[in-house]
Amino acid sequence: MRLLEYQGKELFDEFGIRVPRSHLAHTVQEAREGGNKLGYPLVIKSQLTVGGRGKAGAILKCKNEVELEPKFNELLHKEVKGELPRGILLEEMADIKRELYVSLFLNRSKRCYSLISSAEGGIDIESAGSKVMVDVPIDGLTSQQAEETANKLGLDGETVISFVDFTTKLSKIVNEKEAELAEINPVAILQDGSFMALDAKVIIDDNAMFRHPELKKYEHISELEKQAEVSGFSLVELDGNIAIIGNGAGLVMSTLDMVSDAGGRAGAFLDFGGRATTETIYDALKVISKIKKVEAILVNLFGGIVRTNLVAQAILDAYNNNLMNVPVFARISGADSEKAREMLQGSKAKLYNTVEEAIQSAVSTLKNSRGSA
Amino acid sequence: MTTTVEKTFNIFDILIGTKGEEDFGKKPVIIQGMTGSYGSTHTRLMKAYGTNIPAGVTPGKGGQIFEDIPIYNTMSEAVGATGAQISGIFVPAPFFLKAAVEAIDSGIKLLVAIPEHIPIRDAIKVLEYARRKDARMIGPNTPGVIVPEVMKVGIMPAQPFKAGTTVVFSRSGTLMYDVSYNLTSKGYGQRLCLGIGGDPINGTNLIEAFDLVRDRDDVESIVVVGEIGGDAEEQLAQYIISTNFTKPVIAYIAGRAAPKEKRMGHAGAIVYGNYGSAESKVTNYAKANVPVAKRPAEVPELLAKKLRM
- If residue B66 lies in a helix (H) or strand (E), which one and from where to where? strand B65-66
DSSP string, B138-196: E-SS--EEEETTTEEEES--STT--EEEEEEEESSHHHHHHHHHHHHHTT--EEEEEE-
Grade residue B7 by pLDDT with cuts at 50, 70 and 90.
low
Q: Which residue has the higher pLDDT, A183 or A51?
A: A183
pTM for the full predicted model: 0.93
Q: What is the DSSP letter of A279?
A: H
Higher pLDDT pick, B2 / A269 = A269
Q: pLDDT tens digit string along A118-130?
A: 998 877 777 777 8
Is residue B32 a contact partner of residue B75, using CB atoms and an 8 Å limit?
Answer: yes
Instruction: Give residue B63's identity as a one-letter amino acid code.
Output: G
Pick among A180, A302, A332, A363 to test the B interface (most B CBs inside 10 A):
A302
Q: How confident is the model at residue B192 (pLDDT cuts 50, 70, 90)?
A: very high
B273–A254 C-beta distance less than 8 A: no
Q: What is the DSSP letter of B295?
A: S
Which residues of A are the active-site residues? 101, 183
Decide: A206 and B148 in contact? Cβ < 8 Å: no
Secondary structure (3-state) at A164: helix
CA distance B105 to chain A (A): 20
Closest residue by Cα to residue A297 from A320, A271, A266: A266
Chain A residues in contact with B256 (beta carbon < 8 A): 257, 260
Q: Do A178 and B155 touch (CB under 8 A)?
A: no
Q: How many CB pairs under 8 A join A and B?
A: 157
H-assigned helices in B34-164 = 37-49, 75-82, 96-105, 120-132
Chain B residues inside the 8 Å CB shell of A256: 255, 257-258
Task: Judge: B174–A354 Cβ closer than 8 Å, yes or no.
Answer: no
Interaxial angle between packed helices A355-372 and A249-261, expressed in degrees from 0 to 180 and rounded to the nearest 10:
50
Whether residue A267 has pLDDT greater than 60:
yes
| A111:B232 CB<8 A | no
One-letter amino acid for residue A45 of the chain: K
Residue B266 known to be catalytic? yes
Query: Smallest CA–CA separation between A141 and chain B, in Å?
Result: 15
Q: How far is B308 from chain A (nearest CA, A)?
A: 27
Mean residue pLDDT of chain A comes to 92
The mean pLDDT of chain B is: 95
pLDDT value at residue A103: 96
Across the interface, which of B94, B120, B225 has its CB nearest the CB of A180?
B120
Answer yes or no: is pLDDT of A373 > 50.
no
What's CA B15's distance to the chain center, in Å? 12
pLDDT attached to residue A277: 79
Q: How many CA atoms lie within 13 A of B134 on its CB side?
A: 7
A305: confidence class by pLDDT, cuts 50, 70, 90: low
Inform me whether the pLDDT recorded for B3 exceeds 60: no
B198-214 pLDDT, tens digit per residue, is 999 999 999 999 999 99
Q: Which of B234, B257, B259, B236 is nearest to B247 (CA)?
A: B236
Mean pLDDT of B119-127: 98
Contacts of A222 in chain B (CB under 8 A): none
Nearest to B173 among A49, A208, A248 (CB): A248
Could you tell me where the DSSP H helices lie in A271-321? Answer: 278-289, 308-320
The arithmetic mean of pLDDT across residues A300-318, rounded, is: 83
Q: Binning pLDDT at 50, 70 and 90, where does residue B33 land?
A: very high
Give the Cα separation of B80 and B57 in Å (integer): 12
Q: Which of A7, A51, A24 is nearest to A215 (CA)?
A: A7
Beta strands in A208-286 (DSSP E): 234-237, 242-246, 266-271
pLDDT in tens, A130-173: 899 999 999 999 999 999 999 999 999 999 999 999 999 999 99
- Taking the CB of residue B193, how many other CB atoms lie within 10 A of it? 28
Contact A115, A149 (CB under 8 A): yes
The 3-state DSSP class for residue B133 equals coil
Q: State whether residue A203 is helix, strand or coil.
A: strand
Pairwise CB contact (< 8 Å): A302 & B177? yes
- Using the beta-carbon criterion (under 8 Å), do A250 and B125 form an inter-chain contact? no
Give the strand order in the sheet containing B69-72.
Answer: B65-66, B69-72, B52-57, B28-32, B86-89, B110-113, B136-138
Band (pLDDT 50/70/90 cuts) for residue B309 is confident
Residue-level pLDDT at A304: 58
Complex prediction ipTM: 0.92
State percent of chain A over pLDDT 70.
97
